[in-house]
Amino acid sequence: MDALDWTAKWADYTPDKIALTSYDTNISYTYNDLHIYANRLIHKFTELHLEEGNRIAVLAEHSLEYMVLFVACQRMGLVMVPLNYRLPVSEIAKLLVDCIPCLFIYNENHQDKLAQLPLEKIQTISVDKLEHFFHNEENHAVKTYSIKEDNALFIFYTSGTTGAPKGVIYTNKMLFWNSLNTSMQLGITFRDSTINTLPPYHTSGWNVFITPLLHKGAHIGMLEKFDAENILCLLERNKTTLFMALPTMLLMMQKTAVFKNVNLEKMRYIISGGEKVPSELVSFWKTEKNIYIRPGYGLTEAGPSITSLHHKMAVLKPNSIGKPNFYLDLKIVNAKGETVKTNEVGELCIKGNIVTPGYWNNSVKTSSKIKKGWLFTGDFAYSDAEGFLYMKGRKNDMYISGGENIYPQEIEVQLELIKGIKKAVVLSVKDEKWGECGIAFVTTENEDLSVTAIREVLKTNLVAFKHPKHLFILDEIPLTSLGKVSRKKLYNYFNTIKSEQ
């Protein structure tokens, strides 16, 4: 039995243990079900002449069928390419041309997009047909497969917020060491359970809790779409112990009518990241629900479990992303590649078995980001005297105004300290006088809070050259499908306003 075939191991050790539950369909699979269904799918894929290294593009929401596909692909050495179904069809078409799949799997609710996609020479199968294969096929003798640690298991396309999407290669080796890092930090065992509401086209939708809990023989609940009230009820009903949510999702949950009444006493930790985790959010959940929120940091190219802030330090070290996880090396360097001093800002670099071997069909980008085994993340950070890490924003987000380096995240923190401001986002644009300048977008709880009043407060806690030149009060900050800030929409808004002036 292959050491990396966790499903086969648990099917042998605890065959009747529930591995997966869909809370959309109320269907569950045991570890033995998952094992058998994957083998039946392998038999069908063999008939379709799929071979190691072939790509399978998937345009579908997360589901039990997706999990069966995952196990089958890992055993056969096939590469899953989860596509973002929220993208325009023209963008999905570009990803298909880039990854050149041998098989395209789609959910029926996306069937109308097929006619507009370049699928002429690609076999296509619906998720319903996929399910039919492994539910109705007889058991067959399956070839023994050796899961190779360096084989690609996923290609995750990045969101493309700073350019065209890039296909990040994710290997079995990364999967294994990420699972160890996550388990070491959180003490995950077979007794744990989670409910995943994150989409499959992002690494967090697989590798924050799904694959680490699969490794440990635990229980994984699946939910296609996030609904704040529904998820709270499900977390209580199923006595869930671990949960991953972006800060935006947690804010939505705490504003629901059921929040005060649900009992989440079995919840050990909520992991949060993807954007800045406000210390007020951490304190609120601890006070109201006695639940620890553990901020952390990760990215598609590594892990994604890179750092974690111990729950007992979350209040003592507000805004910190914690310390590096167990099986990786980390350093912060300046523009010359030299390690910076304590409290000095530099680029965060990561080395270890959790780092991607590179970008699909993009050797130039690979060589510019990975140097001598070190992944240059493009994120600015610094470390305090005790080794706790703090983010200062993306390298591409930093701007130079009048010769001064300015980090948008620093301004956002100061804006959000102003009473009445709920959320702040700072971007940069070109400026004729200063080279670049800041533009700030805020949402408020107080309708009487004006731009003038905000600027007056900033005078007392932020040096003048860091003040944003433009400041807008919005009803809400636009978000991406993952709940992150949509900088593209904010820039579009600014450009529209500017063109009307």
Overall domain count for the chain: 1
Q: How far is CA 117 from CA 58, 120, 124, in A?
A: 13, 8, 11
Inter-residue contact 59 to 107 (CB < 8 Å): yes
Q: Give CA–CA dist 476/258, Å, rounded.
A: 23
C-alpha distance across the termini of the chain, in Å? 68
Structure tokens at 289: 């629900």
Helix (H) or strand (E) holding 214: helix 210-215
Residue 258 has what DSSP assignment?
Answer: T
Q: Which DSSP string do the residues of 183-208 spell out, in sequence order?
A: HHHHT--TT-EEEE-S-TTSTHHHHT
Domain assignment of residue 418, yes or no: yes
Q: Does 347 fall in a domain?
A: no
Is 89 inside a domain boundary?
Answer: no
- Please name the amino acid found at residue 430: K
Q: What CATH code is carried by the domain that includes residue 439?
A: 3.30.300.30
> What element of type H or E holds 123?
strand 123-126
- What is the identity of the amino acid at 313? M
- pTM for this one? 0.86
Domain annotation covers residue 437 = yes
What's residue 496's pLDDT? 87
Q: Where are the alpha helices (DSSP H) in 401-447?
A: 408-416
Radius of gyration over alpha carbons of the chain, in Å?
A: 23
- The per-residue pLDDT for 148 is 95
DSSP-derived secondary structure for 38-60 = HHHHHHHHHHTT--TT-EEEEE-
Tell me whether residue 464 is in a domain. yes
Handedness of CA 460, 463, 422, 498 (dihedral sign): positive
Q: Rounded to an integer, what distance in angstroms lies between the CA atom of residue 257 and that of residue 483?
A: 21
Half-sphere exposure of 496 (CA within 13 A, CB side): 7
CA 17 to chain centre: 28
Per-residue pLDDT of the chain (501 residues; tens, 9 = 90+): 588 999 999 999 999 999 999 999 999 999 999 999 999 999 999 999 999 999 999 999 999 999 999 999 999 999 999 999 988 899 999 999 999 999 999 999 999 999 999 999 999 999 999 999 998 777 777 677 789 999 999 999 986 444 578 999 999 999 999 999 999 999 999 999 999 999 999 999 999 999 999 999 999 999 999 999 999 999 999 999 999 999 889 999 999 999 999 999 999 999 998 777 888 899 999 999 999 999 999 999 999 999 999 988 888 898 899 999 999 999 999 989 999 999 999 999 999 999 999 999 988 888 889 999 999 999 999 999 999 999 988 877 888 887 788 888 889 989 998 999 989 999 998 888 888 899 999 999 888 899 999 999 998 888 888 999 999 999 999 988 667 788 889 999 898 887 776
**CA atoms within a 13 Å half-sphere pointing along the CA-CB vector of 422:** 14
Q: Among candidates 201, 169, 167, which has minimal Cα distance to 98? A: 167
Instruction: Give the integer Cα–Cα distance in Å for 220 and 451.
Output: 46
Instruction: Decide if 208 is inside a domain.
Output: no
Pair of tokens at residue 205: 């939708």
Structural domain span for residue 422:
398-500
Using DSSP, state whether 304 is helix, strand or coil.
strand
Distance between CA 370 and CA 39 in Å, rounded? Answer: 36
d(CA 488, CA 266): 39
Distance of CA 288 to the CA centre of its chain: 26
Query: Does residue 318 lie in a domain region?
Result: no
Q: Of the candidates 187, 152, 195, which has an alpha carbon nearest to the alpha carbon of residue 52? A: 152
Between CA 222 and CA 95 the distance in angstroms is: 26
The residue length of the chain stands at 501
| Residue 338 located in a structural domain | no
Nearest C-alpha neighbor of 171 from the set 229, 226, 211, 117:
211
